Amino acid sequence: MVALTPTETLDPAAVQRRTVLFLSAAQLLSGIGNGATLSIGSLLAVQLSGSEAWAGSVTTILTLAAAVAALPLAGLAERRGRRVGLVTGMLAAMLGALSIIVAATAGSFVLLLLGGALLGLGSAANLQARFAAVDLADPERRGRDLSTVVWSITIGAVAGPNLIQPGAAVGQALGLPATAGPFVFSAAGLLLASVLLIAGLRPDPLLLSRRLSGTGPDGGAPAPRGRSLSLGLKAVRSSPMSMLALAAVVAAHGIMVSIMSMTPLHLQQLVEGSLTGHHGTHHVGTDALTIIGFTISLHIAGMFALSPLMGWLTDRAGRLPTIALGFALLITASCVAGFGQHETAAVTAGLVILGLGWSASTIGGSTLLAESVAQEDRVTVQGVSDTLMGAAGAVGGGFSGLLLAWLGYPGLNLAAGLLAAVVIAAVLLRMLRKEGAAA
């Protein structure tokens, strides 16, 4: 058991501010790893495997690993606190970044996949950090505190794709391939993030919240029950609002990953096809890398940069209206990118809107989920949410390559837009029922 400072000597509001500050700083540093993987992962997969059929493999295994790791990390947080769970994920991701460096150097596709899987643990930790931000938050500030931590990843995540060229220079100086260089920055960022979390999350926000509420072992209540996916889903099914919130965050993540993961390959073909007169080359030119890095960085900026605004909307306009806005933006993004497939500017604009839609849907949905279940079930349900988000991302990343091959980039966007339309219809129906019940 992690030792806690006696409750009477603590100011929960001050602990909450400190928690949000250190979570935000750690997210900033860890975001570099995700940004580099998103921009280079599909290109490395094609290079090392020799086939475009494996283009989505790194994104798929990263998101699948994040899904598999979500519940174990939540269980670790349940037993030992948020700090232990988050640091475990960050250190595993650091090992993943180092594995990718070795994979690029040795030309090993298997090692690349292993690195992607380990980075997935860091992705799972990043997702759980947003819930750590609301363990001690006042109800009227839950959306804003959660969104502050989500927003903080912006600088690192946006910098990640744009470290391709500086990373290439670092790689050359270290005797590494150009594609391995950015992951040097990733490994360093993840190490620093781990150090910040170890030092800053004291007292642990989850353990303190339980002690204050009397729902955990330190508050005199029984120890937490054994946790599993089935128990978490049972808790979700007990509340229609939690079911809708879970559906929203899972669907938004799957839609975002499916479009985003194939966009670098589409842009490579678009840019180099316009330069050389043919598509499908496995050589990645400097112009293509620059455009891909710029586009993905703007997409990530869309995901995170306006998170405080989405948090404010969640608290002021309401959880459901913010979710509805998010899915309206996802539909818009699929139309802009799909119909504008031949123009890099249109594809880039679509990716930015895609990020904004993900931001609104995830912040609104995560806030609604956190307050729609009993406190003793909250950590498990959050783990279930992240597991299913990762699974949706893995399915989206895996099938997006097939959809791209079968239907082309417009068909991929159309399929994603149709799924978003189903979810927004369910959200709007729930809003109408809620208004009718209040009338």
Radius of gyration, CA atoms only, the chain: 21
pLDDT at site 439 = 55
Of 74, 87, 90, 80, which Cα lies nearest the Cα of 131? Answer: 74
Question: DSSP characters for 194-215?
Answer: HHHHHHH--S-HHHHHHHHHT-
Cβ–Cβ < 8 Å for 154, 304: yes
pLDDT at site 235 = 84
46, two tokens: 């094609």
395, two tokens: 């399915």
pLDDT at site 33 = 58
The CATH number corresponding to 9-217+227-438 among 2.40.30.10, 1.10.3110.10, 1.10.357.10, 1.20.1250.20 equals 1.20.1250.20
Alpha-carbon distance of 384 to 167, in angstroms, equals: 36
DSSP 284: -
Alpha-carbon distance of 104 to 164, in angstroms, equals: 14
Contacts within 8 Å (CB) and 24+ apart, 91-95: 91/190, 91/191, 91/194, 92/118, 92/121, 92/122, 93/30, 93/33, 93/118, 93/119, 93/120, 93/121, 93/122, 93/123, 93/125, 93/190, 94/122, 94/187, 94/190, 94/191, 94/194
Q: How far is CA 142 from the centre of its chain?
A: 19
19-35 burial string, b = 16+ CB within 10 Å, else e?
Answer: bbebbbbbbbbbbbbbb
What is the residue-averaged pLDDT of the chain? 83
Of 146, 148, 157, 145, which Cα lies nearest the Cα of 189? Answer: 157
pLDDT at site 276 = 44
pLDDT at site 416 = 93
Cβ–Cβ < 8 Å for 363, 310: yes
Burial of 314 (0-12, 13-18, 19+ CB in 10 A): buried
269, two tokens: 């073909």
pLDDT digits 0-9 by tens, 279-302: 444 444 556 667 777 887 788 888
Cβ–Cβ < 8 Å for 414, 338: yes
pLDDT at site 184 = 86
Q: What is the pLDDT along the chain (439 residues), one digit of tens a residue?
A: 444 444 446 788 899 999 999 999 998 888 775 666 666 777 788 888 887 778 778 877 887 888 888 889 988 988 899 999 999 999 999 999 999 999 989 999 999 999 999 998 998 898 888 889 888 888 788 888 888 888 887 666 666 666 667 777 887 788 888 778 888 888 988 999 999 999 999 899 999 988 887 765 444 444 444 456 777 888 888 888 999 999 999 999 999 989 988 888 788 777 766 544 444 444 445 566 677 778 877 888 888 888 899 999 999 999 999 999 999 999 999 999 999 888 889 999 999 999 999 999 999 999 999 888 887 788 888 888 888 887 888 788 778 878 888 888 889 999 999 999 999 999 999 999 877 666 5
Angle 12-49/205-213 helices, nearest 10 degrees? 140
